[in-house]
Structure 1
Amino acid sequence: MKMHEIREVIRLVDESTIQEFELENDGTKVTIKKALSNAGIQVTETPTVRPEQTTHVERQAEGQAPIVQQEEPQSVPTPTASEEKEDDTDLHRIVSPMVGTFYQAPSPDSEPYVKVGDRVDEKSVVCIVEAMKLMNEIEAEVKGEIVEVLVENGQLVEYGQPLFLVKTD
């Protein structure tokens, strides 16, 4: 299967209510499983609950007044300023089509594929996501200008995680 075909299958599964999908074609097997949590984030360690973090229900059971605003546990990521800014504008997100390691350049001593201010088209390679020792070139899939790089070189990325913001033409 070609990468664009796999991306299309991922997109279709993501937009559907299907929780698990398996496809076998010409000796290639693709299995896609959706996480049940909100953004595909799975917290593996249980955070310590401080008294100010108790929930509304727990406080009512204890006969205390509920807290209107509670602090998020440390292990749950909060939206960055760039993600909040993106919601208010017509910027396009280039997202990771898989879980892996993000690389800005084809090799450590090479220049990045793109930088802020660079123009891209649909076929422009913007980065590599390494998954299971395979280097997957990620294309922009839109025409425009790179406004922001949202991840660091060598950072682990999740499926659907925004990598770049692009001001489309």
Structure 2
Amino acid sequence: MDYSSIKELISIINDSKLTTFEMELDGVVLKMKKGESSSQKKDEDLKETHHESKSKVEKKRSELKEESINSAIKIEDIEEKEEINGEMVNAPLVGTFYSSPGEGKDNFVKIGDNVKKGDVLCILEAMKIMNEIQSPRDGKIVKILVENEQMVEYGQPLFIIE
């Protein structure tokens, strides 16, 4: 709820016969009592409530940003700690990683499998569309870096092929 909507609601309540009004929506609490406080006090309370909501949104945004940075650091840690020999296959899009064509079916590949260029390594589901991710070259799967049904980001490493 934005500031102009709140002002409009105050105006409507003020013009009505209601003497008290209380509403909570999306973390914003609006309380009104006619005749007990000046309109200036109501505006200050409204601004304070709006500021508190804005602070909560900023805090959540900050937490999500920190979580995203921590995920990126974990990926970098994997890359730094292990000597990577081979080519990394990265996610070409954001989606859900599937290691097999369906529940109860064998995985497309497992560690140690030899693959040829064009072999399907996994499926990434994005917007209900199943995208087959193919091997960019002939080689051997030496590492699978994600779990089945895990959400992956664009550019996130999925496999290492030697």
Same fold (TM over 0.5): yes
Over 3 Å counting, the alpha-carbon distance change for 1:74 and 1:91 in structure 2 is: same
Q: Deviations over 1:22-53 (max 9, x none)?
A: xxxxxxxxxxxxxxxxxxxxxx6213xxxxxx
Equivalence for 2:93: 98
1:147 and 1:166 in contact (8 A); partners too: yes
Is residue 84 of structure 2 the alignment partner of residue 84 of structure 1?
no
- TM-score under structure 2 normalisation? 0.55
Deviation at residue 85 of structure 1 after TM alignment = 4.6
| SS of 2:79 mapped into structure 1 | helix
Aligned residues: 99
Q: How does 1:120-131 map onto structure 2 within 5 Å?
A: 120-131=115-126
Q: Give the counterpart letter for 2:62 in structure 1.
A: T
- TM-score under structure 1 normalisation? 0.53
Over 3 Å counting, the alpha-carbon distance change for 1:153 and 1:89 in structure 2 is: closer
Equivalence for 1:149: 144
User: Counterparts of 2:91 and 2:68 in 1: how far apart (Å)?
Assistant: 21
1:120 and 1:146 in contact (8 A); partners too: yes
1:93 and 1:166 in contact (8 A); partners too: yes
- Based on CA coordinates, which of the two structures has the bigger radius of gyration? 2
Deviation at residue 90 of structure 1 after TM alignment = 3.3
Equivalence for 1:110: 105
Q: Deviations over 1:81-123 (max 9, x none)?
A: 542256x433211111111100000001101000000001111
Equivalence for 1:132: 127
User: Counterparts of 2:94 and 2:120 in 1: how far apart (Å)?
Assistant: 18
Say what the alpha-carbon RMSD is for the aligned residues: 2.1
Deviation at residue 143 of structure 1 after TM alignment = 1.0
Equivalence for 2:46: none
Q: How does 1:63-78 map onto structure 2 within 5 Å?
A: 73-76=66-69, 77=71, 78=73
Over 3 Å counting, the alpha-carbon distance change for 1:75 and 1:123 in structure 2 is: closer
Equivalence for 2:61: 45
Q: Deviations over 1:103-161 (max 9, x none)?
A: 00000110100000000111110000001111111001111110111011001111111
Judging by fraction of residues, say which structure has more helix: 2
| SS of 2:140 mapped into structure 1 | strand
Is residue 159 of structure 2 the alignment partner of residue 164 of structure 1?
yes
Unaligned runs of 5+ in 2: 1-59
